[in-house]
Amino acid sequence: MKIALLGYGKMGQIIERFALERGHDVVLKISIDNTEDLTTANLAKADVAIDFSAPDAALGNIYACFDANVPVVVGTTGWYGQLQEVKNECLSRNNSLLYGSNFSIGVNLFFHINKVMAKLMNDYPAYEVQVEEIHHTQKLDSPSGTAMTIAEGIIEQMDRKTEWVNELVGAQFDDVVKKDQLLIESLRIENVPGTHTVLYSSEVDEIELKHTAHNRAGFALGAVVAAEWLQNKQGFFNIADIFNFK
């Protein structure tokens, strides 16, 4: 498979390693220094594109892939406000896109366990629930896409929560968190690849679900596997479509 890497930073470089190990070729690498190379002609040389760039670059990269009719796997977070618009465009133009806030198998298992737990805890209102995410200090978006997916999973299953609110620790936060709101606390600590915790606490005890990424290899391998899965498909997909947890 010929792969275009849109974004060649921390993730792009590890994805290249896994892609080569799995017998693929990397035919295009785009970083901020060579965005002029992101042309329809260059993209059309690839069978699939993988975007791990930046929140403000993702949309342009996605539309460039649509113009070149190249299926695109999007790992970049921080653009989900435009998700519906991108979905409509993808489907109306018969393009292919798969996105995911987190491509690691461990986190996708965690997403599933989180929903099962939230469904159980729906019957136990004595427990307050909160989400915490910790990432490295270069992260541009907050909350993390993974924390948003976790929060949406809880809200889907739990009648007493209707929306999430985010506090970036160290930044101004004047909100009073209401009973029906789910707090996502974001912390930025050097070199942390990604840690997510769901905390249920009552007057008498606490239950914690926690996923700790030791490095970025799980995200990167997942992105290459997603690209292999997407290659000959048409439509708008999420990473959850690859797994079938019961």
Ligand X SMILES: NC(=O)C1=CN([C@@H]2O[C@H](COP(=O)(O)OP(=O)(O)OC[C@H]3O[C@@H](n4cnc5c(N)ncnc54)[C@H](OP(=O)(O)O)[C@@H]3O)[C@@H](O)[C@H]2O)C=CC1
Q: Which residue numbers are catalytic?
A: 135, 139
Q: How far is the CB of 161 from ligand LZUJQKHR (least distance, A)?
A: 20
Q: How far is the CB of 54 from ligand LZUJQKHR (least distance, A)?
A: 10
CA–CA dist 52, 75 (Å, integer): 5
Residues between 139 and 198 that touch ligand LZUJQKHR (CB under 6 A): 139, 144-146, 194
CA–CA dist 201, 211 (Å, integer): 18
Site string for ligand LZUJQKHR, 107-146 (x = CB under 6 A): ----------------------------x---x----xxx
Is residue 31 at the binding interface for ligand X, with CB under 6 A as the rule? yes
145 known ligand binder = yes
Q: How far is the CB of 199 from ligand LZUJQKHR (least distance, A)?
A: 18
What are the φ/ψ torsions at residue 144 (nearest 5 degrees)? -65, 155
Is residue 35 at the binding interface for ligand X, with CB under 6 A as the rule? yes
CA–CA dist 5, 30 (Å, integer): 6
Candidates 3, 4, 12, 147: give the one binding ligand X (CB under 6 A): 12
Binding residues with ligand X: total (CB under 6 A): 25
- Taking Cα atoms as reference points, which of 225, 208, 213 lies closest to residue 106? 213
| Separation in Å, CA 96 to CA 18, 73, 117 | 22, 9, 33
The tally of CA atoms less than 13 A away on the side-chain side of residue 65 is 30
Q: Where are the alpha helices (DSSP H) in the chain?
A: 10-21, 40-43, 55-68, 83-92, 105-121, 145-157, 217-230
Is residue 77 at the binding interface for ligand LZUJQKHR, with CB under 6 A as the rule? yes
Whose tokens are 């929903």? That residue is: 115
Q: Output the known binding site for NADP(+).
A: 29
Q: Write out the residues near ligand LZUJQKHR by the rule CB under 6 A.
A: 77, 101-102, 135, 139, 144-146, 194, 219
Pick out the residues of the known binding site for NAD(+): 75-77, 100-103
